[in-house]
Amino acid sequence: MGIDRVVQNRIGEESYGLYFSLMSMAMVLGILQDLGLSTFTNRHIAQNAHLFKGYFPKLLGLKIVLAISSFVVLYGIGLALGYGGEGKTLLFFVLLNQTLLSFILFVRSNLGALHLFKKDSIISVLDRALLIVVCGIFLYFPIYSDGFTLMQFVLAQTAGYGLTLLVGLIFLLSGKAKFSIKFSLPFSVSIFNAALPFALLFFLMYLYTRMDAIMVERLHPEGAFQTGIYAKGFRILDAVNMFSYLFSVILLPAVARLIKQKVNISDIAEEFSRLLIFPLVVGTVCLVLYHEKFMDLLYLGSSEYQNLVFVLIILNIVPMGLVYIFGTILTAGEKLKTLNTIAASGLMVNLILNFILIPIYGALGAAVATIFTQGITSIVQVYFAFKQFKISFSSSFKFQSITFFVVFGLVGWLIYAANFHVEVKILATLLFGGIYLLASKTIKIQSVKSIAET
């Protein structure tokens, strides 16, 4: 929020829109370059640490082959789509940055598998810390801030990722293995067979959540500008999703263990729904009711059109929260066929809606397509999770849910209609939501402590 947002304010919607579109394309590269390697490494090496020295050279060799081939393919697709001039150079470095990031995640998966958690934690923040320092100097110090360009921002990322990868490799190889690269076709095929269902799921889910930006930039006459508008709302959604993702990381192994032990998972599904969904509702209501204030605080200049796009994108927070819970449950239960079918169907619906709406409505059309797709897919995932794992929520949870929505909705509207400063209204809404959830024991303090300790 302190760097990326300021960069957009500094360089404008059109330039940032081009970058956001290219970033969305580059994230496809990250999936193609991984194909489940990090997941395999984290699980398999964690269970068989003695295999690290023999596996790492082969995994690294496979990773390099995937990186080079995927880079060439995606760069070629970018050129075919018509990115030329500045876009051509920018595409190259954005793809390079995604490649470096993919290798960093691969190194981190090995560090985590070897239980080198302190070193992993350093690598997890080093690239961002470097970017904050370098870009912070360029953006916030007047002597350097004049003439700041998008390319400087991208090159600062390249330097940060490159140095982080170097440090990660030093951490990983010091005392653990000698640096060597091997490529084994039988080994690679066996890895693909084990990881492909997960890779397909990540790929499909990425496409229907991230393709919007690329399609806006390509399909609308003012594509780059419209994509910049879309990015303003999506940045907030992305930030909130990081919070939801943390819950899924804890939920996945817990549910997998319970399913393996043939224990009903209703209690844990209910507990995580309490801890995640209700706070997301409170945050979403604040962002929607006071969207004009948030847009004015975060960005330079706004309009009714930009505000409407922002609101529609923000409405995805709760549906995506449901996906992080019930999609994770389906993943833990290895219901990949169900998940892939849902993801493929969601992608098809999203593409059809985008092709119809974006040429006419631009970012607004993409926002409508996104909320429709996310809403439908979240409901379907909740349905199948309940059906396949026989989940049932307690009567107290149902009663507390209905009461919360009625009381919070009523009080939230009264606060909104009151003659107070906007800042006071926002604070009052958040405080009431939090206090009510704790006082009514809809969320229990002990549950919060347990998650924090985890």
Tens digit of pLDDT per residue, the chain (454 long)? 667 777 777 777 777 777 777 887 777 767 777 776 666 665 555 555 566 666 677 777 888 888 888 888 888 888 887 776 777 888 889 889 888 988 888 787 777 666 677 887 888 888 888 888 877 777 777 666 566 778 888 888 898 899 999 988 888 777 555 666 777 777 777 777 777 777 777 778 777 777 888 888 888 888 888 888 888 888 888 888 888 887 887 787 788 878 888 888 898 899 999 999 999 999 999 999 999 998 888 887 778 888 999 999 999 999 999 999 999 899 888 888 898 899 899 999 999 999 999 999 999 999 999 999 999 999 999 999 999 999 999 999 999 999 999 999 999 999 999 988 999 999 999 999 999 999 988 887 776 666 655 5
Q: Do residues 412 and 429 lie in contact, with contact meaning Cβ atoms separated by under 8 Å?
A: yes
Phi-psi region of 443 (alpha: psi -120 to 50; beta: other; left: phi over 0): beta
**Residue 375: per-residue pLDDT:** 94
Locus of tokens 């958040």: 430
The Cα diameter of the chain in Å comes to 70
In angstroms, rounded to a whole number, what is the distance separating the alpha carbons of residues 333 and 257? 9
**Residue 277: per-residue pLDDT:** 92
**Residue 436: per-residue pLDDT:** 93
Cβ density class 138-152: b for 16+ within 10 Å, e for less: bbeeeeeeeebebeb
**What size, in residues, is the chain?**
454
**Residue 328: per-residue pLDDT:** 87
Locus of tokens 């004015």: 296
In angstroms, rounded to a whole number, what is the distance separating the alpha carbons of residues 186 and 204? 26
- Residue 185 Cα to chain centre, angstroms: 32
Any idea what DSSP says for residue 51? G
Helix or strand (DSSP H, E) at 422? helix 422-439
Cβ density class 314-344: b for 16+ within 10 Å, e for less: bbbbbbbbbbbbbbbbbbbbebbebbbebbb
